[in-house]
Amino acid sequence: MVLVLLATTGWTAIRENDAAPGPYAAALLAWEKGSVAGRQLPSPDDGPGAVARFFRSLDPAQQQRLAERHPLVVGNLGGAPVQLRYSANHKALTEARDVERARVNDQRLTEEGRQNASSRMERFESMLEPGRQILAFDPTGRGRAAEAFGDLDRAQRVSVVVPGVDTNLLTFERSDRPYAAPAGMARALQEKQRTEAPGTSTATVAWADYTSPTGLGVDAASGSLAEDGAERLENFVQGLHSPHVALFCHSYGSVVCGEAADELPERVTDIAVSGSPGMRVDHADDLGTDANIWAVRDEDDWIADVPHMEVGGLGHGADPVSPGFGARRLSANGALGHTGYYVPGTGSLDNFAGIATGSYNAVNCADSDPGCIGTPKRTL
C-alpha cells in the first residue's frame, strides 16, 4: 500500500548512487602516506578539534605546503583554517577545471560526455571567480560543495542552508532560477541578514556537502542518504567557531537535519525546515534537541501531497507543519512553489533572517499558528 501511495504522489522507484571511487579517494590515499616536518598527517576521521590542534602546531609555510600538495583533502578538512581551505579548494577547482577542459575535446567520449564535461568546466570556472569562498569541493561523481558568504571566522551568528534532492555540482548554482539553488539560497539569506541587522556579525554557508537523492526515487523516500548526510553535517557544525548556529533545511535537507538533530552541539539554537517531507520523527520533541524548531510550507508546494508517514523504511514521518508536530509554524507570504522560499521579498526569507539574527520579535507566524513566537526555548 505504501509503495502505491509513494508512486502515485511522485515518489518513483528510481535509484542512483555515487559509489565509485574517484579523485577524492585517490587524494586520501596520498594524504595517508604523507607527512610534514617528519610528522604523520591527521586522519579526517579524527574530528575537527584534533585537526584544528594539528594545524595550530604548524607554521604558515607548512600549512600552505600541505594545501598545495593535498588540495582536495585540506579543502574538505573540518578543523583546518578556513582561509587555508578556501586556498586549497581554489587549487583543486583549477585542477578539476583543466581536467574537464581536456575532456571537452576528447573524441573518445560521446557527444553527451563532452557536453557534460563542458558543463562541469563552466561550473568550476564560475566557482573560481574572485571573491568566492569555496569551503568544500569534491568533483567525484555528481560532486559535492559548500560555499561561505560573509566572514566565517569572525561571525557571531552562522546560518547553514541544507538543500534537498538533485543537489550536485551542476545544480549548486543556477542562472535561470538562482534562489532555487544552494548558492543562491545562502546568498539571499546572507544579504537579507545584513540589511535587517547590519550591526550583527553574520555568515551563511550553502552546505551541499552530502550526497543527495537523484529525483523522487527510493532514495528520496528513504533515510539512508539522510543518515550519511547527517553525520557529515554534524562534523561540519562541530568545526564552526561561531557561538550561535541556525540550520535552514529545505525539502530532503530537512530529513538530514532531523537525523542530525540529537547529535548537534548546543550552540545550534534553531532548526527551520521549509517544504519538508518530514524529519523522521512523529513530534518535534522526539528530535532530541533543545533548538527551536520552525516549519514553513507555501500553499502551492507540491510536497504537501507526499504521504507523511513511515512504513518499512519508506517515508519520513509526521508533517512538520501539522499542528500536532509541535514546530513553530511560519508565514510563507509571497513564496511560490517548492523552491520559492528564499526569493527576496518573500515572508519566508524575511522570517529566516529574523531567526538567523536572533530577532524573534520580527518573525511573522502562519495564520494557523498565530502564537508561534511565544518564548522560544533558545534565545541565545
* The last residue of a domain, from among 105, 132, 159: 132
DSSP state of 368: T
Judge whether residue 220 has pLDDT over 70.
yes
Nearest one of 191, 295, 286 to 251, comparing CA atoms: 295
* Residue 91 within a domain: yes
Q: Residue 371: what pLDDT?
A: 82
Q: Residue 13: what pLDDT?
A: 42
Q: Are residues 91 and 198 in the same domain?
A: no
Q: Are residues 232 and 113 in the same domain?
A: no
In angstroms, the CA 181 to CA 109 distance is 29
Q: Residue 133: what pLDDT?
A: 98
What are the backbone dihedrals phi and psi of residue 198, each rounded to the nearest 5 degrees, phi first? Answer: -60, -20
Q: Residue 8: what pLDDT?
A: 40
Q: Are residues 192 and 98 in the same domain?
A: no
* Residue 12 within a domain: no
Read off the pLDDT of each residue in 25-54 and give the average, rounded to a whole number. Answer: 94
Residue 1: pLDDT band (50, 70, 90) is very low
* Residue 66 within a domain: yes
Dihedral Cα 333, 339, 341, 344, nearest 10 deg: -100
Q: How many domains does the chain have?
A: 2
Q: Are residues 157 and 287 in the same domain?
A: yes
Q: Are residues 232 and 102 in the same domain?
A: no
Judge whether residue 114 has pLDDT over 90.
yes
* The last residue of a domain, from among 132, 153, 187: 132
- Among left, alpha and beta (phi > 0; psi -120 to 50; other), residue 150 is left
* The last residue of a domain, from among 86, 115, 132: 132
Q: Residue 223: what pLDDT?
A: 76
What's the one-letter identity of residue 129?
E
In sequence order, the 6+-apart residues with CB closer than 8 A to the CB of 251 are: 163, 164, 165, 274, 275, 276, 277, 303, 338
Express each pLDDT in 50-62 by its tens digit.
Answer: 999 999 999 999 9
Read off the pLDDT of each residue in 289-301 and give the average, rounded to a whole number. Answer: 95
In angstroms, the CA 325 to CA 318 distance is 7
CATH no. for residue 292? 3.40.50.1820
* Residue 11 within a domain: no
Question: Which of residues 253 and 309 earns the better pLDDT score?
Answer: 253
Residue 9: pLDDT band (50, 70, 90) is very low
Contact (CB, 8 A) for 258 and 225: no
Radius of gyration of the chain measured on its C-alpha atoms: 21
Residue 218: pLDDT band (50, 70, 90) is confident
Q: Are residues 284 and 328 in the same domain?
A: yes
Q: Are residues 53 and 154 in the same domain?
A: no
Q: Are residues 273 and 365 in the same domain?
A: yes
First-last CA distance in the chain: 45
Q: Residue 2: what pLDDT?
A: 40
Please state, rounded to an integer, the average pLDDT across all residues of the chain.
91
Q: Are residues 213 and 275 in the same domain?
A: yes
Contact (CB, 8 A) for 356 and 269: no
* Residue 1 within a domain: no
* Residue 18 within a domain: no
Judge whether residue 15 has pLDDT over 90.
no
Express each pLDDT in 221-279 by its tens digit.
Answer: 777 899 999 999 999 999 998 999 999 999 999 999 999 999 999 999 999 999 999 99
* Residue 64 within a domain: yes
Judge whether residue 6 has pLDDT over 50.
no
Read off the pLDDT of each residue in 286-295 and give the average, rounded to a whole number. Answer: 96
Q: Are residues 106 and 204 in the same domain?
A: no
Q: Residue 11: what pLDDT?
A: 46
Q: Decide: helix, strand or coil at residue 95.
A: helix
Q: Are residues 252 and 184 in the same domain?
A: yes
Q: Are residues 208 and 357 in the same domain?
A: yes
Containing domain of residue 51, as a range? Answer: 24-33+43-132
Read off the pLDDT of each residue in 108-119 and give the average, rounded to a whole number. Answer: 95
Q: Residue 217: what pLDDT?
A: 73
In sequence order, the 6+-apart residues with CB closer than 8 A to the CB of 188 are: 178, 179, 342, 343, 344, 349
Express each pLDDT in 340-368 by its tens digit.
Answer: 999 999 999 999 999 999 999 999 999 98
In angstroms, the CA 239 to CA 11 distance is 35
* Residue 14 within a domain: no
Contact (CB, 8 A) for 272 and 355: yes
Q: What is the DSSP string of 297-360?
A: --TT-GGGGS----BTTBS-BS-TTSGGG-PEEBP-TT--STT-TTSTT-HHHHHHHHHHTT-G
What's the one-letter identity of residue 112?
E
Question: How many residues make up the chain in this entry?
Answer: 380
**Maximum CA extent, the chain:** 64
Q: Residue 12: what pLDDT?
A: 45
Residue 375: pLDDT band (50, 70, 90) is low
In angstroms, the CA 77 to CA 60 distance is 17
